[in-house]
Amino acid sequence: MSGSLHLRSVDVGYGAEPLIAGIDLELTGGQCVALIGVNGGGKSTLLNAIAGLRPPMAGEVLLQGVDVARMSSAERARQVSVVFTGRPRAGLLDVRTIVGLGRQPWTGHFGGLNEGDESVIEEAMRIMDVHHLGARSLQRLSDGEAQRVMIARALAQDTPLLLLDEPMAFLDLVNRVRLLRTLRDLARDRGKLIILSTHDLQTALDLCDRVLLIHDRRLWSGTVDEARASGVLGSVFADEGIHFDKATGSFRPR
């Protein structure tokens, strides 16, 4: 199933003042989308609102044409999977069991895994290159390995929309590029809509299809080429000591 996301006049934030206001956005599947902006600008808050984990201050978030606020938790889990930054508490569960938990929306808490479920789990572990870690507990993994395991669990959930909050935070450059290429190919090959927040601006511009950029409590949306040509990247990060060179399409310190 191809992903579909529609935000109508959405405000997100905490308290009385929105971090981002007046969001009108429509995205379809087959895209890997980078969500960027300065720290504290509302990236994680927006992802939580899209996932239905925190209600927007105003407006509607529609997944596959249905208001996420009207979905049960089980329905949401079949539509959107989320990977947050940080190592979850998983006790002594081994990697394969953790990835298998991604199938719960389809099997129920006490449902057994059938041959199809096992195949989905195997493929998710292969895609994220964690198959060789299957018998190890999450506690014994590096931060980067643990992050790949949690992404594999989200892939096993097999939803049309995948949200990732700083998925490259614990990865070196080679593995950041490898992960983003994998996510981009998944989006294009399977019609998924993948949205990831990141501070790795250059890698995102090089490999993502579209950019969502938070600036002055507004959300700008466009293709990577539009972002490079518009000058919006330079204006957002001008106060952060970073210059965006439109001629080369790259960032550099001032």
Write out pLDDT tens, residues 94-120. 999 999 999 999 986 667 888 999 999
Domains of the chain: 4-245 (3.40.50.300)
**Sign for the pseudo-dihedral over CA of 55, 59, 65, 70:** positive
Look at residue 1 in the predicted model and tell me its pLDDT: 59
Which position has the token pair 């198959």?
131
Residues 68-72 have a mean pLDDT of: 95
Residues 50 and 80: beta-carbon distance below 8 Å? yes
Local confidence band at 232 (pLDDT 50, 70, 90 cut-offs): confident
Residues 4 and 191: beta-carbon distance below 8 Å? no
Look at residue 239 in the predicted model and tell me its pLDDT: 63
Please give the Cα distance from 8 to 10 (Å, whole number).
Answer: 5
Average pLDDT, the chain: 91
Q: Cα dist. 120→63, 92, 100, 176 in Å?
A: 23, 23, 9, 24
Q: What is the pLDDT of residues 15-46, one digit of tens each?
A: 888 999 999 999 999 999 999 998 889 999 99
Q: What is the pLDDT of residues 138-190, one digit of tens each?
A: 888 888 899 999 999 999 999 999 999 999 988 889 999 999 999 999 999 99
* Closest residue by Cα to residue 105 from 130, 79, 85, 123: 79
Angle between helices 173-190 and 143-157 (to 10 degrees): 0
- 16, with CB counted inside 10 A (0-12, 13-18, 19+), is exposed
Please give the Cα distance from 224 to 226 (Å, whole number).
Answer: 5
Look at residue 187 in the predicted model and tell me its pLDDT: 96
DSSP assignment letter at 138: G
* Closest residue by Cα to residue 2 from 192, 210, 154: 192
